[in-house]
C-alpha cells in the first residue's frame, strides 16, 4: 500500500485546528446568544444528524467493543471539557482563552507516554516548551496590565479545568483513531456527547432563536469537518508529533477574535505567536513516516 507523505498528517492537523478555531468563534456567539448548555447540546445533536447519512453511505462502519469503550471514555471527557471551555469563552477574549488552554498539549505529551507507550523525543519537548514560552509572554503582559476581573478569574478557572480534560482528550483521540475510521469517530463522538448532555435537557435546555440556531448549526458543521481532519491525521502520526500543532490555534483565534468580536491583538500577542509558529515548525520537521491504521 502506498505510504502517504509524512507531511500530510501535519497539514491535515493544521487545517483541522483552523476549522476548529472558526467553530470556537461561532460557538462563542451562539453561547452568548442562547446559553452555553443549549449551544453545546444542540451543536452535538445536529452534528450527529449530519453524520448519520454519511455513516450509512460508508457501509455503517463500527469497530467493535474495544473501540466502543474508547468512544464512551472520550465522549464523557469531551462533554465536560466542552461545557467548561465554551463557558470560559463567554468570559474571556478568544485569543487569550486559547493561549491559556495551551497548557493542555504539554500535559498531553506526558499522558501519551503514560497511556500509549510513546517515547517522548527531545525535539517534541522543545517544540512544546517554545509554544508555552509564547503563551507565558502573552499572559505575563496581561497580568502586568491588571486587566483581570471576577468574571475573568471564573473564566480562567473553568478554562484550566477544561485544559486538563483536553489533555486527556488528545491522548484518547490518538487511541480512538487507531481503532476506528474518521467517519465512525465523527458520528459516535457527536452522538454520545448529545446522549450524555441530554440528561440535563429537562432543566437546562432553552430553545434558541433563529439567529442563534443558525450559528449552532454552522458550528456543528465546522466541528464535524475539523473532527474528520484531525481523526485522519492522528491515525497516521504519533500524538507527540501533532500535539504542538495545537499551538497554531492561537493564530486563528487572534484573527477570528479581532474579526468577529473586535478583540485587539497587541505586540506581546505577535511575539508570542512567533514562538508558537517556530515550535510547530520544529514538530513538523521531526515527523517520521508512521504506519497506517488497519481500519
Distance CA 15, CA 19 (A): 6
pTM: 0.81
In this prediction, residue 202 has a pLDDT band, given cuts at 50, 70 and 90, of very high
pLDDT, tens digit, 9 for 90 and up, residues 71-104: 999 999 999 999 999 999 999 889 888 877 877 7
In total, how many domains does the chain have? 1
Is residue 201 situated within a structural domain? yes
The dihedral through the CA atoms of 159, 160, 164, 170 has a sign that is positive
Report if residue 77 sits inside a domain: yes
Neighbours of 15 (CB within 10 A): 17
Asked, for residue 65, whether it belongs to a domain, the answer is yes
* Percentage of the chain lying above the pLDDT 90 cut: 38
Cβ atoms of 252 and 136 within 8 Å: the answer is: no
If one compares 94 and 147, the residue with the highest pLDDT of the two is 94
Note the pLDDT tens digit of each residue in 262-280: 988 777 777 877 777 677 6
**Cell digits of residue 187:** 458520528
**For position 15, what pLDDT does the model report?**
92
Is 1 among the domain residues? no
Average pLDDT, the chain: 83
Q: Residue 179 belongs to what H/E stretch?
A: helix 150-179
User: Comparing 87 with 111, which gets the higher pLDDT?
Assistant: 87
* CA distances, 198 to each of 36, 42, 66, 216 (Å): 14, 9, 25, 16
The CA-CA-CA angle for residues 261, 267, 271, to 5°, reads 110
The reported pLDDT for the residue numbered 81 is 96
Give yes or no for residue 12 having a pLDDT over 50: yes
Q: Decide if 2 is inside a domain.
A: no
Domain that holds residue 203: 7-285
The pLDDT of residue 289 is above 50: no
CA dist 162 and 110 (Å) reads 17
In a domain, 295, yes or no: no
Cα 39 from Cα 37, distance rounded (Å): 5
Q: Is residue 207 part of a domain?
A: yes
pLDDT tens-digit profile of 212-249?
999 999 999 998 888 788 878 877 877 667 767 777 88
Is position 223 within any domain?
Answer: yes
Other CB atoms within a 10 A radius of the CB of residue 271 amount to: 14
pLDDT at 24 over 60: yes
pLDDT for 288 beyond 50: no
Asked whether residue 208 carries a pLDDT value surpassing 80, the answer given is yes
Amino acid at each position: 500500500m502506498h505510504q502517504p507523505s509524512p507531511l500530510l498528517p501535519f497539514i491535515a492537523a493544521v487545517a483541522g485546528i483552523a476549522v476548529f478555531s472558526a467553530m470556537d468563534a461561532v460557538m462563542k456567539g451562539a453561547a452568548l446568544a442562547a446559553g452555553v448548555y443549549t449551544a453545546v447540546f444542540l451543536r452535538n445533536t445536529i452534528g450527529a444528524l449530519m453524520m448519520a447519512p454519511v455513516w450509512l453511505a460508508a457501509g455503517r462502519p463500527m469497530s467493535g467493543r474495544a473501540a466502543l469503550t474508547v468512544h464512551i471514555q472520550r465522549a464523557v471527557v469531551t462533554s465536560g471539557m466542552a461545557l467548561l471551555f465554551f463557558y470560559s469563552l463567554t468570559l474571556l477574549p478568544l485569543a487569550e482563552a486559547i493561549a491559556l488552554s495551551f497548557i493542555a498539549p504539554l500535559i498531553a505529551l506526558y499522558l501519551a507516554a503514560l497511556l500509549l507507550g510513546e517515547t517522548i523525543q527531545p525535539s517534541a519537548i522543545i517544540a512544546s516548551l517554545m509554544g508555552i514560552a509564547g503563551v507565558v509572554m502573552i499572559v505575563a503582559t496581561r497580568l502586568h496590565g491588571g486587566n483581570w476581573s471576577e468574571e475573568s478569574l471564573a473564566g480562567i478557572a473553568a478554562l484550566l479545568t477544561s485544559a486538563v480534560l483536553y489533555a486527556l482528550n488528545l491522548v484518547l483521540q490518538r487511541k480512538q483513531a487507531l481503532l476506528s475510521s474518521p467517519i465512525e469517530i465523527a458520528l459516535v463522538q457527536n452522538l454520545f456527547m448529545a446522549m450524555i448532555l441530554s440528561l440535563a435537557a429537562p432543566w437546562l435546555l432553552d430553545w434558541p432563536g433563529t439567529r442563534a440556531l443558525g450559528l449552532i448549526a454552522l458550528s456543528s458543521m465546522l466541528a464535524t469537518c475539523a473532527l474528520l481532519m484531525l481523526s485522519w491525521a492522528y491515525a497516521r502520526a504519533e500524538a507527540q508529533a501533532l500535539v504542538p500543532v495545537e499551538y497554531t490555534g492561537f493564530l486563528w483565534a487572534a484573527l477570528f477574535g479581532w474579526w468577529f468580536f473586535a478583540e485587539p491583538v497587541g505586540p506581546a500577542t505577535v511575539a508570542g505567536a512567533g514562538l508558537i509558529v517556530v515550535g510547530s515548525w520544529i514538530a513538523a520537521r521531526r515527523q517520521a513516516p508512521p504506519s497506517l491504521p488497519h481500519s
